Structure 1
């Protein structure tokens, strides 16, 4: 291949910029031209495509978000819209595409692959819910953002002797809640992968209170239910002074951690190598610190699995 494209799609995540940088510079190192598609699949359809040079990605490795912008594009599910996207790519002489994003982005890449246009998926989402990789770009940064918030909230929870319910992102995956809850010393962690009993949660709070505990932190993943709903039920059950913090989109922002910058650089570069090798329809990832790649169609047929041992450990340590 002599010309490739790169786009970011769906929800942004810290580390997308380092991934873009890696794609551009790896390609140019191998004398391959790179074109940026601005605004995700929506920008692809409308032809927002521009050639990128080495300087185009200078001074972005430390920046959150994505220089290529991102957007949701429900209409890209339609075959005629996908074919229009391929027409735009071919009009610029682009022979392969790197797609950085989550589940929806991968589905777009899969559709283009099935229509004969080679794509490689790079997992960019804070949710850490993409099969075929142990970690996604942005997860580590989001995790540290949540931990920082928990630490700050714990200060005020201690001062006022309150219970705080902290709602975090993750869609249908509980990885952010689980990892941040364990690292932040939360008394209870509610995730969509495991059922919970509100009576048991209330009993744990009462037990802590009886042994002199003055405050508690409960982390709930958005895929379980609203943090306000959890707080309402707990207050009715325990009569404890309960407050709610919904961290929201702040979890997607901020300068990417060193771990995310390195991961993004490795995965972005590997995606280019795959296209140069003449292959498409792949999804890159990392397992046991080794780069891997799988058929993107097979990846989408699998389900994300969470770490049950880590969940059980969190319950043992929060007694």
Structure 2
């Protein structure tokens, strides 16, 4: 891509802390290399409506410390249709935009791939707190979400200790238990329930009772939302153990807040790498944190592979919670 080539960036799917850092890197590195960078507002939904605005250096000033995304985001069912995909490509072509950087998750990448088939150069940047995209070891927002859970649970532990109860804490993760696993190990949870690993309520109850017999007066169980209905799990544990418990659902608080230093750094590096890939003439690649490097890899890896669950880390958590 040469000087005055036009590039657009959008954020799609769930917001994630660090997206703004990636947007800033894409805009400023693009301008530094004499590209014209456009922001697409409200994700693919905004793209279909032509919500496209040229960005300047000042457009991304003072945003690295802010959570969410200044470009906003939205779900877009129409983008799953051939008509919607053609309209999205036409909106970009009408403004002379040759390339699009998509910051988001698996669904966002699928939309990008369809645009590539229609003649638009596309780069994917992984932005999702779930850390569920294959082909990259880390996604923007994951580290912040884990830290948010750790902070919240540290406060819940005070109440759990005061009332001598078991607390079940539901964290995000419908199909991927990484937030539960990493936060659970970090805070020393007695049990971690994830979609990837079957669990036995009687075994968990026996573990809780062993702890109480040796003088432990409270326990924390971290449960990914995809592991099952947390209220049914809580009811089952009470029936087996006879111990009182309480349920806390953290919900969307996990998506908010200023990005951690790790996510800010990851967003900046991935955004910069996206521009580099475009300037090298690449398309249909995803920017990945792979083997401790920021690299571009084939976009299709996100669809062909399944994100591997870290069973060794899960086993370690179980061993430490005896």
**TM-score under structure 2 length normalisation:** 0.98
* DSSP 3-state at the match of 2:220: strand
Match of 1:9 among 8, 12, 37: 12
Answering whether residue 45 of structure 2 is matched by residue 56 of structure 1, we say: no
Q: Structure 2: how far apart are the matches of 1:82 and 1:280?
A: 17
Aligned to 2:284: 281
* DSSP 3-state at the match of 1:75: helix
Aligned to 1:178: 181
* DSSP 3-state at the match of 2:254: helix
Q: CA 1:116 to 1:297, structure 2 compared with 1: closer, same or farther past 3 Å? A: farther
Cα RMSD for the two superposed structures: 0.8
Answering whether residue 218 of structure 2 is matched by residue 215 of structure 1, we say: yes
Q: Structure 1: how far apart are the matches of 2:91 and 2:230?
A: 44
> In the alignment, is the contact (CA less than 8 A) between 2:135 and 2:301 conserved in 1?
no
Q: Structure 2: how far apart are the matches of 1:97 and 1:280?
A: 9
Answering whether residue 123 of structure 2 is matched by residue 120 of structure 1, we say: yes
Q: Which stretches in structure 2 are left out of the alignment for 5+ residues? A: none
Aligned to 1:78: 81
Match of 1:306 among 301, 309, 313: 309
> In the alignment, is the contact (CA less than 8 A) between 2:106 and 2:302 conserved in 1?
no
Q: Which stretches in structure 1 are left out of the alignment for 5+ residues? A: none
Instruction: Please list every run of at least 4 consecutive aligned residues from structure 1 whose deviation after the TM superposition is greater than 4 angstroms.
Output: none
Mapping of 1:118-267 within 5 angstroms? Answer: 118-267=121-270
Q: Structure 2: how far apart are the matches of 1:168 and 1:95?
A: 39
- How many pairs does the alignment contain? 319
CA distances 1:5-56 after superposition (whole Å, capped 9, x unpaired): 0000000000000000000001001000000000000000000000000000
CA distances 1:74-125 after superposition (whole Å, capped 9, x unpaired): 1101111111011100111110000000111011111111222110000000
CA distances 1:225-247 after superposition (whole Å, capped 9, x unpaired): 12212111111111211000000
**TM-score under structure 1 length normalisation:** 0.99
1:128 CA displacement: 0.3
Q: Structure 1: how far apart are the matches of 2:124 and 2:19?
A: 13
1:177 CA displacement: 0.2
> In the alignment, is the contact (CA less than 8 A) between 1:132 and 1:293 conserved in 2?
no
Match of 1:44 among 44, 47, 55: 47
